[in-house]
Amino acid sequence: MRVSLAWKWVVASLLIESLMLTLMVMKNVDQLKINLSTQTNIRLDEQKILLKSALVAPLVQMDYATIHAILNETKNIQTVDYLVVVDNQNNCISSVGWNGCSKLPPTEVDPFSEKSLKDQRFDTNIPITLFSQSLGKVYLGLSTKYYVQAKKEMITRSIVIALIELILSAILLIAISKWIIKNLVKLTQSADAIAHGDYAQRINLGDSKEIFELQESFNLMAKNIEKNIIDLKYLNKKEKKLFNELKSQIEKNQEQDIMIKHQSRMVIIGEMLNNIAHQWRQPLSAITVQMSSLKLRKELNLLEENEIENTSDSIMKYANYLSKTIDDFRDYAKDYSVKKKYFNIETSFTKALDIVSASLENNFITLNIVPCEDELVVDGVINELSQIFINILNNSKDILIENKVKEKIIEVKFLKEDNQIIITIHDNAGGIQDNIIDKIFDPYFTTKHKSQGTGIGLYMSAKIIHEHFAGKILVKNENIEFEKTTYKGAKFFIILPI
Ligand SMILES: Nc1ncnc2c1ncn2[C@@H]1O[C@H](COP(=O)(O)OP(=O)(O)OP(=O)(O)O)[C@@H](O)[C@H]1O
Ligand SMILES: [Mg+2]
């Protein structure tokens, strides 16, 4: 169980006060003892002088009746308990208040010793002398009753005063603590209300200086909390809004990415069909020519022996070639999503050439390849890199045809530097205009007609190089020399780390 602060405070204060009062009573009793002992000694000295002067003469004259009368007179003093007079031989002469002369009283003791206080009397003696000659002694018993009584009275009075003081203090302390605690309770209630969400909570404690300062600090704190909570709520709302916007943007981007991938696939298929058409053109026309020649020669009866067989062999060869072309393209398309492995870059380029070479040849484009002496190996999907080569070669082919360049050249170089492989593809189609050169890697950027380009070829190429090969792809307009003539053209750099 938790004890209230007020009670702790009251009990501690009362304990301290009791301790102080006890110390005070003890000190008073001590002081009383000192005062009384001084008084006692003074009175004793007076008594000594009086008794001495009164007893000297009767002792010299051995006047026992007078001695007895003096003792009786002295015994009337309230504080005197007994008196015994002895001569210089210690023989008892007279005694008052003492049980005869059978036994002499004890010698001097401390008036405030335990024994004196217990017997309520202390014993002392006064030597009676004349010209330094001892005449005898007076044994004296003085009562300590009045001291014990005074002490008792003092202690009782002190206790009563202390009790009254303690009760009054307790009442005062409880009242003060109640008053302080009242404010603390108010503070606690307000803090509690704030903790439970009532941020508009403020307190009014009163106008004494410290309490007022406390109230001011509390209200300032509450105000700041309220402000911060409002700010936080606002920020939270804003953050949520931003998060939702970001989420929907990411979703949009993902959708766009999927769409671009899909479109890119369509472009690849379209390009393949285009390339198949190119590769088929020559064997198909050869088949047509041979068939029509065979038909004509049959009509003219000019057919020689084995000619049908020879022609059908030749047609079979072409048909096999056509079928192989289809297989090549199908394998290429099938291999597209195989897992990553180390492959030779020049092999990947050859794969690209299998697809585009026919189309390049049919458009009279000279391909100049400068291989590298070192073996160039990278980790990744071989067909992904082939696809990038196809994209760049097709772009060069398109622009060479579009610009009607007479001597059409594409130069491909493979280089190995410290820790990277650089492949450059350079054409002589005139280069890329300065105002679009920064945009050609953007998705859907194209200068071609809708039916000819989607503008995702270079975007996808850069994305694959960056994300799958940790490399980069750059472009520059650079002059190219061919058979002593200088042409202007675009030069693409594919940089792959090894
Ligand atoms: N070798 C080049 N010389 C001059 N311009 C080029 C060259 N390569 C690309 N470009 C320009 O960059 C644009 C973007 O090329 P990208 O391959 O991304 O799209 P595209 O070829 O237009 O269409 P897609 O490849 O999707 O069918 C092209 O439209 C063209 O204007
Ligand atoms: Mg393209």
Ligand with the closest atom to the CA of 446? 1
Q: Whose CA is nearest to atom 29 of ligand 1?
A: 446
Q: Residue 439: which pLDDT band, with cuts at 50, 70 and 90? A: very high
CA 433 / ligand 1 centre spacing (Å)? 12
What pLDDT, on a 0 to 100 scale, did the predictor assign at position 346? 94
Higher pLDDT, 278 or 384: 384
Say if residue 458's pLDDT is above 70. yes
Q: What are the pLDDT digits (tens) for 223-265?
A: 998 899 899 999 999 999 999 999 999 999 999 888 888 887 7
The segment with the largest mean pLDDT, out of 5-14, 205-214, 331-340, 417-426, is 417-426
432 pocket-lining for ligand 1 (C-beta < 6 Å) = yes
Say if residue 220's pLDDT is above 80. yes
Say if residue 170's pLDDT is above 70. yes
111 pocket-lining for ligand 1 (C-beta < 6 Å) = no
What pLDDT, on a 0 to 100 scale, did the predictor assign at position 422? 97
Q: What are the pLDDT digits (tens) for 302-312?
A: 888 888 898 89
461 pocket-lining for ligand 1 (C-beta < 6 Å) = no
Q: What are the pLDDT digits (tens) for 480-498?
A: 998 889 999 999 999 999 8
What pLDDT, on a 0 to 100 scale, did the predictor assign at position 17? 86
What pLDDT, on a 0 to 100 scale, did the predictor assign at position 401? 95
Q: Whose CA is nearest to atom 20 of ligand 1?
A: 455
Q: Residue 413: which pLDDT band, with cuts at 50, 70 and 90? A: very high
What pLDDT, on a 0 to 100 scale, did the predictor assign at position 247? 95
* Residues surrounding ion ligand 2 at CB below 5 Å: 395, 457
Q: Residue 105: which pLDDT band, with cuts at 50, 70 and 90? A: confident
Q: Residue 323: which pLDDT band, with cuts at 50, 70 and 90? A: confident
What pLDDT, on a 0 to 100 scale, did the predictor assign at position 495? 97
Q: Residue 173: which pLDDT band, with cuts at 50, 70 and 90? A: confident
What pLDDT, on a 0 to 100 scale, did the predictor assign at position 345? 96
pLDDT above 70 coverage of the chain, percent: 97
Mean pLDDT in residue range 457-474: 93
Say if residue 347's pLDDT is above 90. yes
Q: Residue 215: which pLDDT band, with cuts at 50, 70 and 90? A: confident
* Pocket perturbation via mutation, ligand 1, pick of 267, 401, 425, 440 by most ligand atoms within 8 A of CB: 440
What pLDDT, on a 0 to 100 scale, did the predictor assign at position 387? 87
What pLDDT, on a 0 to 100 scale, did the predictor assign at position 1? 61
Mean pLDDT score across all residues of the chain = 87
Least confidently predicted of 242-246, 292-296, 410-414, 430-434: 292-296
- Domains of the chain and any CATH numbers: 5-168 (3.30.450.20), 339-498 (3.30.565.10)
What pLDDT, on a 0 to 100 scale, did the predictor assign at position 363? 93
CA 369 / ligand 2 centre spacing (Å)? 21
Say if residue 290's pLDDT is above 80. yes
CA 398 / ligand 2 centre spacing (Å)? 8
Ligand with the closest atom to the CA of 428? 1
Say if residue 178's pLDDT is above 70. yes
What pLDDT, on a 0 to 100 scale, did the predictor assign at position 476? 97
Q: What are the pLDDT digits (tens) for 71-91?
A: 998 888 888 889 999 998 888
What pLDDT, on a 0 to 100 scale, did the predictor assign at position 334? 65
Q: Whose CA is nearest to atom 9 of ligand 1?
A: 395
CA-based nearest residue to 95, from 134, 129, 125: 125
What pLDDT, on a 0 to 100 scale, did the predictor assign at position 109? 66
430 pocket-lining for ligand 1 (C-beta < 6 Å) = no
Say if residue 336's pLDDT is above 60. no
* Pocket perturbation via mutation, ligand 1, pick of 446, 476, 493 by most ligand atoms within 8 A of CB: 446
CA 314 / ligand 1 centre spacing (Å)? 40
What pLDDT, on a 0 to 100 scale, did the predictor assign at position 383? 85
Ligand with the closest atom to the CA of 488? 1
